[in-house]
């Protein structure tokens, strides 16, 4: 796999959110990046990482805190978005390794936020929508959410749902389940 040794970055982001429309002038921004490194050759999750990201154009709402557990005080201690992207590239080889997320939301959020902030996109082109792969492999008509997919695969939900680091860890378990069944692309 081009010097990456069968390693895959599984990424899940949490972003500022509101129960209704965002407040005037606010936009949804990444506030947490969860990343789990999967060794597809060995069939194991080898690293779990979390990057907190300080929002520049929005604040963490009470609704967002209830959903994710993240607070404004906590994310204020995070990295600026551009620094978080540089960290992904430098420490996690994001531009070199293939990567996966549950659906396309995470990829689109990075694309939009990078464009809005003139930040270089940290990932390479080899992205896999794990939700689409799972749906096809299971012969489902509707794409399930991550928690539902874990139930269907008879895998435990580890940690807190809607927490980037825990969701990436759980998505990685689904990827390994798919790879073990020969259903992961390239596996």
Stretch 101-116: mean pLDDT: 97
Stretch 24-33: mean pLDDT: 96
CATH number of the CATH domain containing 41 = 3.30.420.10
Residues 46-72 have pLDDT tens digits of 999 999 999 999 999 999 999 999 999
Distance in angstroms (rounded) separating the CA atoms of residues 68 and 59? 14
Three-class SS string for 7-50?
EEEEEEEEECCCCCCCCCCCCCCEEEEEEEEEECCCCEEEEEEE
Q: Which of 157, 10, 19 is nearest to 94 (CA)?
A: 10
Residue 60 forms part of a structural domain: yes
Stretch 123-148: mean pLDDT: 97
Number of structural domains, the chain?
1
Residue 94 forms part of a structural domain: yes
Residue 187 forms part of a structural domain: no
Residues 145, 163, 42: CA angle, nearest 5 degrees: 75
Residue 107 forms part of a structural domain: yes
Mean pLDDT of the chain: 95
Residue 118 forms part of a structural domain: yes
Residue 26 forms part of a structural domain: yes
Distance in angstroms (rounded) separating the CA atoms of residues 141 and 17? 28
Contacts for 151 with CB less than 8 Å, ≥ 6 apart? none
In the chain, the N- to C-terminal Cα span, in Å, equals 11
Residues 86-97 have pLDDT tens digits of 999 999 999 999
Residue 22 forms part of a structural domain: yes
Stretch 27-32: mean pLDDT: 97
Residue 186 forms part of a structural domain: no
Look up the pTM and report it.
0.95
Q: In the chain, what percentage of residues exceed pLDDT 70?
A: 97
Its domain, for residue 111, covers 7-180
């Amino acid at each position: 796999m081009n010097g990456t040794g069968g390693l895959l970055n599984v990424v899940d982001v949490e972003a500022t959110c509101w129960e209704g429309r965002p407040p005037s002038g606010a936009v949804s921004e990444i506030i947490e990046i969860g990343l789990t490194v999967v060794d597809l050759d060995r069939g194991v999750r080898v690293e779990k990482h979390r990057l907190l990201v300080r929002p520049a154009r929005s604040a963490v709402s009470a609704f967002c805190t209830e959903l994710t557990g993240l607070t404004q005080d906590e994310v204020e201690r995070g990295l600026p978005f551009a620094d978080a992207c540089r960290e992904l590239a430098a420490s996690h080889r994001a531009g070199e390794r293939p990567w996966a997320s549950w659906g396309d939301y995470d990829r689109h959020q990075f694309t939009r936020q990078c464009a809005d902030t003139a930040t270089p996109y940290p990932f390479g082109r080899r992205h896999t929508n794990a939700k689409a792969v799972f749906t096809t492999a299971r012969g489902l008509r509707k794409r399930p959410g991550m928690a539902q997919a874990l139930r269907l695969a008879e895998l435990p939900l580890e940690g807190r749902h809607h927490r980037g680091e825990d969701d990436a860890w759980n998505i990685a378990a689904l990827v390994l389940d798919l790879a073990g069944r020969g259903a992961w692309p390239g596996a």
